[in-house]
Structures are given as C-alpha cells and as structure tokens.
Amino acid sequence: MRIGELAEKVGTSTRALRYYESQGLLGARRAANGYRDYDELDLRVAREIRSLLDIGFALEETRPFVACLRAGNAAGDACPDAVAVYRRKIEEIDDCVERLHAVRSHLEGQLERAKEHKEKTCPRLRRNT
C-alpha cells in the first residue's frame, strides 16, 4: 500500500509516517515508480506507534515495541524490553500523581488561609460566603 493509504488506515498524516521512517521506526520499500510501498507488518508497526503516542509515550519509547513486532511477535509488548518501558512509564505516572496530590494539598491549604484572612480582614464579606 502507498503512504496515503497507510496514513488513512492508521489515522495519522503522511508527514508523521515520513518522520517515523526518518527515525528508523518505519521502513518503506520503494516501488519501481519510486513511491513508498508498505505491507501489513508496516501497518501493524504504524498502528502500534500511533496507539502508544496517543496515550502519552514519547516516540523514542516506542522502539522496543516496534522491534518486538519486527521480530515476528504477535504483539509489540510481547518482549521484555517493551514490558520494561511499561514499568518505567507507570513509575513516571505514579511520580506525577504524587506531585499533583502535593500541589492540590498545598492549594487547599492556601485556600483555607485565604478564607481565614478574608474573614478576619473583611467582616462585611463574611456574610456573603
């Protein structure tokens, strides 16, 4: 299939596919007329890349999944290197969640102090809250 058809099936742009190719993630063969030619494995690889990008993975993080598919596995996450990326990503998410909880807690404290300050300094406003 040609690049436009692949892009349509994957739900991305031809520009994105060319970029994946330039990064060594997607390989295109050239037809006699010079057009890029993709097969079903390329479709699976491009879909895997797109699905990982859609959930927040960086393009570089997709490499082990692509390699796993190219090695003949049925799924991109069938290999230990891909599973390791999942684990690292979960750790990153857990760290972000912890930081967000800390920020939320801090903001709640600031909000309470602001309410207390308003009540002490603006007695007329107390009735409006």
In this predicted model, which residue has the larger pLDDT, 115 or 85?
A: 85
Q: How many domains does the chain have?
A: 1
Domain that holds residue 75: 3-126
User: What single-letter amino acid sits at 76?
Assistant: G
In this model, does residue 129 exceed pLDDT 70? no
* Termini Cα distance of the chain: 65
Q: How many C-beta atoms surround the C-beta of residue 128 within 10 A?
A: 7
**With a threshold of 0.85, does the pTM exceed it?**
no
What is the domain-level CATH number for residue 41?
Answer: 1.10.1660.10
34-55 residues labelled b (16+ CB within 10 A) or e (exposed): eebbbeeebebbbbbbbebbee
Per residue in 24-53, pLDDT (tens digit) is: 999 888 888 888 999 999 999 999 999 999
